[in-house]
Structure 1
Amino acid sequence: MNRNAAPQPGSYGKWTLSSSDEESEDLGTSSAPKVKARASPPPQHPCSDARKESYKMKSNPLKFEEVPAKELPPAAKKPKIEREDAGWCLSSSEDESKPEKTVKSERDESCKEQAPKSQEKCAQDKYRTPSDAQDPWDVLKAGEPFRFYLTKVTGIKPKYNTGALHIKDILSPLFGTLVSSVQFNYCIDVPWLVMQYPKEFRDKPLLIVHGEKKESKVRLHEAAHPYENVRLCQARLDMAFGTHHTKMMLLLYEEGLRVVIHTSNLIRDDWYQKTQGIWLSPLYPKLPEGSSSLAGESRTNFRSDLVAYLSSYNSPSLKEWMDIIKQHDLSETRVYLVGSTPGRFQGNDKEKWGHFRLRKILRENCSPIAGRESWPVIGQFSSIGSMGSDQSKWLHSEFGESMKTLGKGVKMLPLSENPLQLIYPSVDNVRTSLEGYPAGGSLPYGLQTAQKQPWLHTYFHKWKAETSGRSRAMPHIKTYMRASPDCQELAWFLVTSANLSKAAWGSLEKNGSQLFIRSYELGVLFLPSAFDLPTGSFHVKLNIYAKKEDSGRTFPVPFDLPPERYSGKDRPWVWNIPYVNAPDSHGNIWCPS
């Protein structure tokens, strides 16, 4: 197969269920047949319908061997779908291989062999913080100069957690003496969050910025009420289907200020067995009294861009933090801030947010180098919105044009000469993961969206992270990059909260004069020029644990490159359809209600 050739629509068949109107990737609207509801308490932090289903499946799993086909509940029976000769059909897992032995994680096997009391203890242990003997300062040093880290994962070999961080590490007193903090996030479990702070910091002022409304807002306030030090700040969300998806921490210490931009929700599951990304800033010292208003800015304009982002909330609570940021020296920052905020933007404002923000930074800070105009764009994400009826509607027009920008005046090549590779977990990736099918609760790609855009799935590549030991830790991280055809070099790398959707990145209106964004998102962009690399590219660190490679030039991409395209039997994970013909890593099936 010619890897540089554009995939042809329809090469994986068509889905023929009825479609629906435009939907957000997080709506989780299900058109699967209904089954009797299971008796399990609802989560206090549902986030999405996909997460709710995952919670129910974990609370009351359906064992593969316990459910013969003739006794399956209605939702597990195959929907009536017109089957295509070459197609991915949206039935259950009939095309999956049926292993002779259920895949089990090492932890599950060890628990199975122990006495009941030991099994109970084992079940409790699996949610404890992964630990190793690494000194936190060694972890920080290992992350230089990029300061890009992955989260620790329970259930993998200790060496694969080398250089990784848990939220308790980030909030550790070893990183600073905390005075107060702000947590920006989408899904928040307040009691769990408070417990992640060290005892000596749990009564320090904590501001939580969220986007909850109506009943979910009431639940959040009820959860925060017992904690006198916790205040809540509701983000303005005027656009339908918009979400407050940004994931950031502002940590004020006696010694200075730290900014953390990451991809994890503030719930236990997101810090347990998932692959997440973290950018941890240096410790920013306070500026001397009487310093110029220009003092403390970085060459990437990070401080002014961060203040502008906070200003978009129009919140008095965040005005206090804007002033705090202005009082600190952020000059050592080497990354660019790429954010989205809800609204309709025209003129110069159009380049402040979303994919037009990325386009502007790449245009102004990349030097055109011959041959790089044909380098592929690689996108990796955990959810997908509606792209339109074909790739020309958004993916390869405005969004693709932003992703392909490399300096000023560079000619854009046609699609056939500039491939796009999209990494999204397949059904088998999810089935064999550490969590099994419930891992799919954090991959809320819904049937009603998927069935409208079968052409998109021809771009899909598997989630593979064998070199980092994380192939079975499903990704909630989102990354985008421009790589050489052999994936040995990167022109740039972005880690962000933004999934592949118009709601997150924005879409043009009024003949291209206006950018419409629904959600709050935030990420950081790594450019070789900000790290003084004369070649204008990062080398890819093929083995992120190898010590011989020059860490100053090699970037630790968290998955295997080059990406591996879906095979003929691979299908993208769609959360709201049943998978009953093959067991997951815990011996269970997936039967959404």
Structure 2
Amino acid sequence: MRTMLQEGAHGKWTVSSSDESTEENSDNEKPSTSSLLSTAQGKASGPQYPCSEARKAAHKRKASPVKFSDKSLAPESPPAEKQRASQEGLGWCLSSSDEEPEDREKSAPKERVKEEKRDDAPEEPPQNHSKDERSGNHKAEDCNEAPSEAQDTWDLLNGGNPFRFFLTKVTGIEQSYNSGALHIKDILSPLFGTLISSAQFNYCIDVEWLVRQYPQEFRKKPLLIVHGEKRESKAQLLAQARPFENISFCQAKLDIAFGTHHTKMMLLLYEEGLRVVIHTSNLIADDWHQKTQGIWLSPLYPRLPQGTAGSAGESETNFKSDLISYLMAYNAPTLKEWVDVIQEHDLSETRVYLLGSTPGRYQGIDKEKWGHLRLRKLLKEHASSVPAQESWPVVGQFSSIGSMGADESKWLCSEFQESLVAVGSRATSLLKCDVPVHLVYPTVNNVRQSLEGYPAGGSLPYSIQTAQKQLWLHTYFHKWSAEVSGRSHAMPHIKTYMRPSPDFKKIAWFLVTSANLSKAAWGALEKNGTQLMIRSYELGVLFLPSAFGLDKGYFRVRGKTLSEGNDSATSFPVPFDLPPERYGSKDQPWIWNIPHTDAPDTHGNMWVPS
């Protein structure tokens, strides 16, 4: 078997030819048949809903932790692991014998495993965890479930948050940092409207948990769940919903291999109007407990007068027609009913731009409807040019990473970067990352020192098989640090992209989205650039200064305290620290499917994924 040594600043692996794969994305893996059968048969080996192998490993370790002092429980070290000790933390080695069976069968789509990532942790372990918060067996659904006080929630809806951008509440941090944050029970509260029906678009769904998040009086209202499950995982999802007669399903078509339905959106129809919520959380308890997530909450859209044309009620950002176009891309009759609902409402108060991805191969004018070319088009048409903006860097922050290619010129610093740096009537094509690119992704220590400890890495599914093929990428990595939002220890499942000034005190634009750093999510050009191929459904919203009446072409970055001259109307609440801190020589990116046994996490445990 052919073997060669690859080495980089943040990793060293033994790569065998059997590890190679043409797989393009690491956040698209579907549940394995065996794992679904075990849950269908009621075994306690994992969550009772389809999810990723990374999340299943985290669930297993929470239920059966491997204590740091209990070396007898750790698997016998293979030769590669014995080499690790002498490498002083420089990297990992993996031979083909160390792979899990599902990783060796990466080419079979039905064996693919859903991967979603999260990270968020500081240099020193948190000191203020209660015994319950530090327990590896906590029930996340029992935490953070009470909605905000009525007045607080009303202030959130009508107070000084012109961007309508929120973070999720986190259990185990100072309560001052949860001020202005939302739990799903807040969003579904009667204070937000008297619900008639709702639609939930998502990736990983625990139906029973979701139903419990609705107030008692709304739990029998019609609920449509839009998902991308197939075969056994679809059957498992439908089985979860059998006790609930009000729930119906819409299966998103995924005709291109390795695609996922990754969009996270709520459509909430009230007696008083309509609300749209675009966010980053899966519909499972863990995603609303101790993770950093993002939410865009629309205004309450009033119903248009009877007889008004459906084209009325459009915003300056074209949000209404773009949302309808996105829903029509599913080609599903059940969503046509929601299109009709949207047409009946006035969405003119919307100040954000919708940015989606839908699976397909697009040519001509359709090429700019979705993915990174949609971002490029929006920036060229609506972003204001700022003096010396050519030198402004780009920052991407995400919880999962796909295959980027053999080097930066294959995608990251060619077509993707060209979209990120577009501005005004021109798009600057600077190859080899002449514009600085900062990629924020948690280190092993970030995860180890997080509120959840190592199991937080179950939602950061960067795999060894993908990482070892792109060591060049790790030189762009920066740590997760979020003192500004009090969430350094709450690993991020949020995904954000932005264009800050060189001093990181201004940003030209900000995007919160479900899209991780992958070609499957953002699209990749084919046929000499004449065609864009996208595998997955994604959705996000783009904040541009011009849509908020700011003529300077940038937002100011909101600081930690009011004394820093913050103005909530003009300063944007970036949820992590700027400037980002580059990985040090001993920092390693979190990789979920290898052991981490050198140091204990905040619960005193090691990470042994299998």
What TM-score comes out, normalization by structure 2 length?
0.87
* SS of corresponding position for 1:15: strand
Tell me: CA distance 1:190–1:13, structure 2 relative to 1, closer, same or farther (3 Å): closer
CA distance change for structure 1 residues 28 and 570 in 2, over 3 Å: closer, same or farther?
farther
Counterpart residue number, 2:173: 156
Q: What are the within-5 Å matches in structure 2 for residues 392-403 of structure 1?
A: 392-403=409-420
Name the residue aligned to 1:20.
20
Q: Distance in 2 between matches of 1:462 and 1:471?
A: 10
Instruction: Supply the distance in 2 between the matched residues of 1:361 and 1:550 (Cα, whole angstroms).
Output: 26
CA drift of 1:79 comes to: 3.6
SS at match of 2:483: coil
Does residue 50 in structure 1 map to residue 54 in structure 2? yes
Please point out which of 494, 500, 503 is paired with 1:483.
500
Q: Report what 1:41 is aligned to.
A: 45
Q: Distance in 2 between matches of 1:584 and 1:492?
A: 36
Q: Distance in 2 between matches of 1:229 and 1:42?
A: 27
Who is 2:212 aligned against?
195
Q: Work out the CA distance in 1 between the residues paired with 2:284 and 2:594.
A: 25
Aligned match for 1:60, one of 54, 58, 64: 64
1:463-478 alignment, distance < 5 Å: 463-478=480-495
Match for residue 268 of structure 2?
Answer: 251
Instruction: Give 1:74 deviation, angstroms.
Output: 3.1
Corresponding residue of 1:231: 248
Residues 174 and 278 of structure 1, relative CA distance in 2, 3 Å threshold = same
Aligned to 1:72: 74
Question: The residue matched to 1:525 in structure 2 has which SS?
Answer: strand
**TM-superposition CA deviations, 1:121-167 (whole Å, max 9, x none):** 98689634266656201122445210000000011111010000000
Higher mean C-alpha displacement, 284-293 vs 539-548? 539-548
Contact 2:84 2:92 survives alignment (8 Å) = no
The residue number in structure 1 matching 2:101 is none
Alpha-carbon distance change, 12 to 204 in structure 1, aligned in 2, over 3 angstroms: closer
Residue 471 of structure 1: CA displacement? 0.2
The answer as to whether partners of 1:12 and 1:86 remain within 8 angstroms in 2 is no
The alpha-carbon deviation at position 592 of structure 1 amounts to: 1.2
CA spacing shift, 1:378–1:390, aligned 2, 3 Å: same
Q: Extract unaligned runs of 5+ from structure 1.
A: 1-8, 31-36, 93-101, 113-118
Q: Is the 1:490–1:539 contact (alpha carbons within 8 Å) kept by the matching residues of 2?
A: yes
The structure 1 residue matched to 2:314, chosen from 297, 300, 304, is: 297
Does 2:272 correspond to 1:270?
Answer: no
Distance 1:304 1:313, change over 3 A: same
* 2:92 aligned to which of 90, 109, 122: 90
**2:596 corresponds to 1:558:** no
Matches within 5 A, 1:150-229: 150-229=167-246
Does the 8 A contact of 1:544 with 1:556 survive in 2?
A: no
Q: Name 2:301's counterpart in structure 1.
A: 284
Whether the 8 Å contact between 1:83 and 1:89 is mirrored in structure 2 is: no
Which amino acid letter does the alignment assign opposite residue 262 of structure 2? H
Whether the 8 Å CA contact 1:468–1:544 is kept in 2: the answer is: no
Per the alignment, in what secondary structure is the counterpart of residue 339 of structure 2?
A: helix
Secondary structure at 1:57's aligned position in 2?
A: helix
Deviation at 1:235, TM superposition (A): 0.4
Letter in 1 for 2:71: V
CA contact (8 A) 2:414 2:430 kept: no
Structure 1 residues 578 and 13, CA, compared in 2 at 3 Å: closer, same or farther?
A: closer
- Residue in 2 that maps onto 1:425: 442
Q: Secondary structure at the match of 1:516?
A: strand
Match of 2:475 in 1: 458
Look up the SS of the partner of 2:337 in the other structure: helix
SS in structure 2 of the partner of residue 215 of structure 1 = helix
Equivalent of residue 145 in structure 1, options 158, 162, 170: 162
- What secondary structure does 1:379 align onto? strand
Structure 2 partner of 1:310: 327
What residue is the counterpart of 1:370 in the other structure? 387
Does structure 1 conserve the Cα–Cα contact (< 8 Å) formed by 2:264 and 2:280? yes
Q: Percent identical across equivalent pairs?
A: 63
| Mapped partners of 2:30, 2:227: distance in 1 | 22
Structure 2: unaligned runs, 5 residues or longer: 1-6, 32-37, 95-123
* Code of the aligned partner of 1:383: S
Change (3 A) 1:206 1:62: same
Give the number of aligned pairs: 562
Structure 1 counterpart of 2:117: none
Q: 1:129: which partner in 2?
A: 145
For residues 332-347 of structure 1, the aligned pairs below 5 Å read: 332-347=349-364
Shift of 1:565: 0.3
For 1:11 and 1:562, the matched residues in 2 are separated by: 21
Mapped to 2, the partners of 1:546 and 1:268 lie a distance apart of 36
Alpha-carbon contact 2:379-2:424 (below 8 Å) kept? yes
Q: Which AA in structure 2 matches 1:73?
A: P
* Offset, 1:549: 1.6
Deviates more, 1:43-52 or 1:124-133: 124-133
Match of 1:358, SS state, is helix
CA RMSD of aligned residues (A): 2.7
CA distance in 1, matches of 2:521, 2:425: 25
Q: 1:287, CA displacement in angstroms?
A: 0.3
What is the TM-score of this pair, normalised by structure 1?
0.90
